A and B are shown apart, each in its own frame.
Chain A
Amino acid sequence: MTEQNPREDLPEPVVRKHRFSLSLIWLVPALAALVGLSLVVHAWLQAGPEINITFQTAEGLESGKTPVKYKNVVIGKVTGLDLTEDRERVRVTVALNKSAESFATKGTRYWVVRPRIGLGGVSGVDTLLSGAFIGTDVGDSKEEQYEFAGLETPPAVLHGAPGKSFVLHTDDLGSLDTGSPVYYRRIQVGRVSSYTLDKDGKGVSLRIFIDGPNDRFVTRGTRFWNASGVDVSLGANGLKLNTQSLATVIAGGVAFEEPRGPHDATPAPEDADFALFNDEATAMAPPDGPPRYIRMRFNQSLRGLAVDAPVEFLGVNIGKVVSLTMDYDAKHTRFPLTVGAVVYPQRLGNAYDKLAAQAGMKDGRVDLARMFGPLVAHGLRAQARTGNLLTGQLYIALDFVPKAPKASFDLAATPIELPTAPGSFDKLQEQLADIVTKVQKIPFDSIGHNLNQTLADLDRTLKQVNGDVLPELKGTLKGAQRTLGSADNALSADSPLQQNLGGTLEELRRMARSLRALTDYLGVHPEALIRGRPDDPPPAQPERIQPPARQGSKP
């Protein structure tokens, strides 16, 4: 039955259309979708704010590759590079990480770290190979900002770095640059963070940053100087070379120190102003005070006087020559030279204080004219003197000239003009000229002529002497010689005169002996004069003596 007509007898089976009975295999795409979704969520969660930074150039930057780093931690990535609408700059789009949200705030600074090879050193060497990256320095502000102007050079000072910045004023920048080191006792303690031209264009203001804790060494009395140069001094101790470091010689640097002696040792406040001196010597010198301009007119050649030549007051350097201009005096057909000089009267120390107290103030400054007035009346004159005999360099000396002719001094003139006196060198020249004219006045010609005549006369006299006097003299001498020869003959030992003389003398002696014998006998026998001599002969011994006496008595 059932087999024959199944369709009619059997009940309709329940057809379960489970079209949505998902087999386990669908877990695979579900899992894949989950993974994909998780990736999307992760990326979305990781995505931080997008910011735009503008730079001058996109050199070294690559879209999708260049990282943004803060303290060398990657906090984002460059995602796009584009020109700004005005084509002036490059707009760099940076996707910051979620964790770096705080970098999209006001005050954050961005710059491109590229390898920089300067005289002061090499920085960013790692970027030579790995490519440039964008460096970051975050500020304190919480205010959100998404557009930034990137710095072209890395900032010298990072935000929050311990230390203080100070402002230095100088005439010109010299070889200093951003990043130039600042030394304290030859240890680098800071650097130049920026520099700007002063508003009036007459100087440069440098901002330096001294790292803590060394910033406490900057006191109110601290002096700063440009340590860029090489200081070579030749003294009694030999040649001395003084520099801060080799790098400063090439790249420049600033050094500071406290002056010797008492000074204000309170630490300087942030952003305090200081003057930047050209070298250590001027920095350490007592303060110059404001410079004053004076003028001098010289009626003499000033060969050897150069700009920067010193101006000395009684041997104290108080300034320097700043200008030399020539004038023409039609009345005397002369060319007076006007010398302009800048002087620092305060260098006179106590003398200045006393003089200034006397002179009083004018226009808020010490009245220089009234200060110099009495001095000029007492003979103060400016002189151009030779400072160096070898090179003939001149300097201006302000000295009291004794017996100086009275000079007019205009108290109201600005700038004040000091009267001048001929310099020592000038005087020397005059004296020399005097001597020369005197020497010139000596009649060398006639002197020579007279001398010539005298010599001719002498010559004549000598000739006469030779011709007449000398032969006579010769004869006389010969005669004299003859006389002497005969005298010699007469006096010689074997001459008859001599022998006769000897015999005579012998006879005289004998006579003297017999006379004595006679006187002796008469002394004993005075009667003999009357009676005569007795017969007894005298003893035999005196007999020998007696004969000469007898003989002698005979004649």
Chain B
Amino acid sequence: MSRAPRAAQLGIIGCHVCGLVCRAPTGDDAACPRCGAALHRRKRDSIGRTWALLAAAFILYIPANVLPIMRTVSLGDIDDNTIISGVVELWVKGSPSLAVIVFTASIVVPMTKFLVLGTLLASTQRRSRWALRQRAKLYRAVEFIGYWSMLDVFVVALLTALVRFGFFSEVEPLPGVVFFGLTVILTMFSSMSFDPRLMWDGPDDD
């Protein structure tokens, strides 16, 4: 075929960390001659790890949504908000744009990540050749947006630090925000541990 040869066919391997191309090692414990990182043809146990982290993130995403993330006290009026109730409150109280942003960052983005990573993993596992390019773009998109879903955590952290007026106004973080932060971190780990090259392996290996 006129296809470009694969690294494995040429007996070479790329370092995951510094990208140095070396000869494929014969043994198991090979290290990059430049940066010292362990050399693997593919990320080790990528699918399994990604699945595990994704599952953990998903499990933690449930309490993150159920438990309140923030307590606002204004003039003695204590108000506990979960993510969704916060979005609803913002919408009702006349800041729909803010509501959309928070909703996107806290609901849309994590859900998209679960869906996209799940799809990628499933299709990769099945060595599907379906829409490979689009899947690659999807992966890059997930990697990109990953950082931005910490918005809620930032908001809570900032408000907690800034709004401290005792009885008149106070913002307090509640357990939900911890779970939400863990969810975001785990999805990031999950997408990091996924080796997109596996997508391309499938069709040619067997």
Write the residues of chain A forming the contact surface with B, with a CB cutoff of 8 angstroms: 23, 25-26, 28-29, 31-33, 35-36, 39, 65, 126, 129-131
Does residue B78 face the partner (Cβ distance < 8 Å to A)?
yes
C-alpha gap A174/B91 in the complex (Å) = 52
Give every chain A residue within 8 A of B52 (Cβ-Cβ). 23, 25-26, 28-29
- Cβ of A36 and Cβ of B63 under 8 Å apart? yes
Give every chain B residue within 8 A of A35 (Cβ-Cβ). 59-60, 63
Interface SS, B side? helix
If A23-B48, A25-B45, A126-B76 touch, whether A36 touches B60 (CB-CB below 8 Å) is: yes
Give every chain A residue within 8 A of B182 (Cβ-Cβ). 32
Give every chain A residue within 8 A of B77 (Cβ-Cβ). 129-131
Give every chain A residue within 8 A of B60 (Cβ-Cβ). 32, 35-36
- Cβ of B78 and Cβ of A25 under 8 Å apart? no
- Cβ of B76 and Cβ of A31 under 8 Å apart? no
- Cβ of B76 and Cβ of A36 under 8 Å apart? no
- Cβ of B59 and Cβ of A32 under 8 Å apart? yes
Sorted nearest first, the 4 A-B pairs with minimum C-beta distance are A129-B76, A29-B56, A32-B56, A29-B55
- Cβ of A33 and Cβ of B78 under 8 Å apart? no
- Cβ of A23 and Cβ of B49 under 8 Å apart? yes
- Cβ of B48 and Cβ of A36 under 8 Å apart? no
- Cβ of A28 and Cβ of B76 under 8 Å apart? no
Give every chain B residue within 8 A of A130 (Cβ-Cβ). 76-78
- 27 inter-chain pairs at a CB distance below 8 angstroms, sorted by A residue, are A23-B48, A23-B52, A25-B45, A25-B49, A25-B53, A28-B52, A28-B53, A28-B186, A29-B55, A29-B56, A29-B59, A31-B56, A32-B56, A32-B182, A33-B56, A33-B59, A35-B59, A35-B63, A36-B63, A39-B63, A39-B67, A65-B78, A65-B79, A65-B80, A126-B76, A130-B78, A131-B77
Q: Pick the contact of A36: B45, B53, B59, B186 (CB < 8 A).
A: B59
- Cβ of A36 and Cβ of B62 under 8 Å apart? yes
Give every chain B residue within 8 A of A32 (Cβ-Cβ). 55-57, 59-60, 182, 186
- Cβ of B56 and Cβ of A28 under 8 Å apart? yes
Interface size class of B (residues with CB under 8 A): 20 to 34
- Cβ of B76 and Cβ of A29 under 8 Å apart? no
C-alpha gap A131/B75 in the complex (Å) = 10
Give every chain A residue within 8 A of B76 (Cβ-Cβ). 126, 129-130
**Distance of B65 from chain A, by nearest CB (Å):** 12
**Distance of B184 from chain A, by nearest CB (Å):** 13
C-alpha gap A394/B52 in the complex (Å) = 104
Give every chain B residue within 8 A of A129 (Cβ-Cβ). 75-77
**Distance of A368 from chain B, by nearest CB (Å):** 67
**Distance of A28 from chain B, by nearest CB (Å):** 4
Which partner residue on chain B sits nearest A131 by CB separation?
Answer: B77
Give every chain B residue within 8 A of A131 (Cβ-Cβ). 77
Q: Pick the contact of A29: B45, B53, B67, B80 (CB < 8 A).
A: B53
C-alpha gap A375/B112 in the complex (Å) = 108
Give every chain B residue within 8 A of A23 (Cβ-Cβ). 45, 48-49, 52
C-alpha gap A31/B186 in the complex (Å) = 12
C-alpha gap A129/B55 in the complex (Å) = 43
**Per-position 1/0 for B162-205, Cβ under 8 A of A:** 00000000000000000000100010000000000000000000
Which partner residue on chain B sits nearest A28 by CB separation?
Answer: B56
C-alpha gap A28/B76 in the complex (Å) = 40
C-alpha gap A130/B73 in the complex (Å) = 9
**Per-position 1/0 for B34-54, Cβ under 8 A of A:** 000000000001001100110
Which partner residue on chain A sits nearest B73 by CB separation?
Answer: A130
Give every chain A residue within 8 A of B78 (Cβ-Cβ). 65, 130
Give every chain B residue within 8 A of A39 (Cβ-Cβ). 63, 67
C-alpha gap A45/B51 in the complex (Å) = 32
Give every chain B residue within 8 A of A25 (Cβ-Cβ). 45, 48-49, 52-53
**Distance of A284 from chain B, by nearest CB (Å):** 49
A25, A31, A35, A130 interface centre (most CB from chain B within 10 Å): A25
